Amino acid sequence: MTSCVLVTGATGFVGTALLKRLVAERRFEVRVAVRHGSAECDKRVGRVFVGELSPTTDWQDALAGVTSVAHLAGRVHVIHERATDPLAQFRRVNTFGTVNLARQAAQAGVKRFVFLSSVKVNGERGIYSEAAPSAPLDAYGISKSEAELGLRQLAAETGMDIVIVRSPLVYGPGVKANFQTLMHAVGRGIPLPLGAIHNKRSLVALDNLVDFILTCMQHPAAANETFLVSDGEDLSTTDLIRRLARAMGRPACLIPVPASVLLAGAIMLGRRDMAQRLLASLQVDISKARQLLGWVPPISVDEGLRRAAASL
């Protein structure tokens, strides 16, 4: 019997790549949930229009015959936030919308529900393993943490397998936001004052994350577990820029400004959060994924950066 997989967020950055991989595997019947009729996706998959991800969304048609769900949809970081109560909006989608989907999935007989969460559940800086306590600092991280709690409770009540995947920053072909801005700066040879940053940050290449999600969908030992995922090699911001420049065939134009000076300037400009992402350390330990699932990142950091750069 062919397994039927429902993917939410299939038109997004991670979802598009996962969909491509699932279709290439040819071992799954693939279905996607989309918000509106104009959404485009691979013609070899089934589409079900469900509207917005919310606490009241009806998933009955989308879940019929489904054996596993890869839940990637959610409200992500909003640069220019307009909501008067951002936390309420994040909870509505990421917490209550997720638990509503999972509850209906259990009722429909789904065997496994894989939830893409975030390292922000643990925090913003430090070295984390799955045993670290949840300590989210922003509305996005809080909503993801609360969704995880709701999913664990649902698993205990219904017996449906839940797998939680916490990801750090994802990069790869089609990446947007800050990573895309950084690539454009490196490609144009813009001098960057980041030549003396000695932090360590975990990243995950898009293809590595997709491979890990697929592993979690199938591996028996993944049931009801939480995993952190990364490339398995942590980089300083300085080293990241150097290796990104090499992947792009460009020189790295780096100016060695002390991190303390950069932080002070960022605080004066009201950009502390941005400075923290560039200057602070945030590392994840993927020993559990390696030992319990036998998972090894299929591509290196350098290959991931090359693939990201090639998409510009």
Mind listing the domains of the chain with CATH numbers? Answer: 3-167 (3.40.50.720), 177-199+235-279 (no CATH)
The dihedral sign for the CA sequence 192, 244, 22, 143: negative
Mean pLDDT for the stretch of residues 74-91: 79
Cβ atoms of residues 264 and 193 within 8 Å:
no
- Name the active-site residue from 13, 140, 212, 295: 140
Radius of gyration of the chain (CA): 20
Q: How much is the pLDDT for 272?
A: 78
- Read out DSSP for 259-299? HHHHHHHHHHTT-HHHHHHHHS-EEE--HHHHHHH----SS
Residue 128 annotated in active site: no
Cα dist from 231 to 125, 201, 286, 300, whole Å: 18, 11, 9, 7
Q: How much is the pLDDT for 79?
A: 56
Q: Find where tokens 């969909």 sit.
A: 19
What distance in Å separates the CA atoms of residue 171 and residue 206, rounded to the nearest whole number?
A: 6
Mean pLDDT for the stretch of residues 44-59: 82
Residues linked to residue 31 through DSSP beta bridges, in sequence order = 6, 46
pLDDT at 250 exceeding the cut of 80? yes
Report if pTM > 0.75: yes
Mean pLDDT for the stretch of residues 198-212: 97
Over the stretch 259-309, which tens digit does the pLDDT of each residue have? 999 888 888 888 877 788 888 999 999 999 999 999 999 999 999 999 999
Mean pLDDT for the stretch of residues 83-95: 90
Over the stretch 111-166, which tens digit does the pLDDT of each residue have? 999 999 999 999 999 999 999 999 998 999 999 999 999 999 999 999 999 999 99
pLDDT at 80 exceeding the cut of 70? no
pLDDT at 45 exceeding the cut of 80? no
